[in-house]
Amino acid sequence: MERSLSGQQQSEDELGVWRGLLRVHAGVNGRLDAELQRRHGLTLTEWEVLLSLDRAPEGRLRVGDIAGFVLLTPGGVTRLVARLEQRGLVARVPHATDRRGTAVRLTGAGRDRYRAADVEGMVRRLFLDRLTPEQRAQLAAIWEAVLPGAATLDAREWALRR
């Protein structure tokens, strides 16, 4: 047993659960990121921005809305969008309803790159195919027990909740 910062003891099983979550997350994301960069010249976070734009109404979002989809601050998203814009994958456009604001939209080249990446196939190969249907259902139930909505809310609802 190890003593935590709160003074409570944690069993090796408890530590193993936590370490396992962190290691699986880091390992799968690391592999996805490396494969995306090697095959498509995209980081996983860049792909997530393209995904959020592909799924957005009219294919456009404000930077602050994109930040809700990815784990970056609005400033981090602004810098990421600038890099994607330089590569011709996104474009800044006037906001549809707020003339003072701007939005980011996916370009044709960005949509092509996003679709070619097939991250869903990589996730299936690196993670989902290694689990039985029962294990996948158990994990979804666990995510919901720890953080309600984590497995059930769509990306837009989840982003609004953050």
Q: Helices 119-126 & 44-55, crossing angle to 10 degrees?
A: 120
> pLDDT grade, residue 1 (50/70/90)?
very low
CATH of region 2-126, choose from 1.10.3720.10, 3.30.70.600, 3.90.1150.10, 1.10.10.10: 1.10.10.10
67's CB contacts (< 8 A; 6+ apart) are 73, 74, 76, 77
Torsions phi, psi for 150 (to 5 deg)? -55, -40
DSSP string, 65-88: HHHHHTTS-HHHHHHHHHHHHHTT
| Other beta carbons within 10 Å of 83 | 13
Residue whose structure tokens are 């949509």: 111
Taking only the tens place, the pLDDT of each residue in 102-160 is 889 999 999 999 999 989 999 999 999 999 999 999 999 999 999 898 887 776 676 66
> What is the spatial distance between Cα 127 and Cα 65, in angstroms, rounded to a whole number?
28
Torsions phi, psi for 149 (to 5 deg)? 95, -15
> What is the spatial distance between Cα 142 and Cα 147, in angstroms, rounded to a whole number?
8
Mean pLDDT value of segment 52-73:
86
What are the residue boundaries of the structural domains of the chain, listed by start?
2-126, 127-153+158-162
Taking only the tens place, the pLDDT of each residue in 68-87 is 888 788 889 999 999 999 99
Taking only the tens place, the pLDDT of each residue in 10-46 is 788 888 999 999 999 999 999 999 999 999 999 999 9
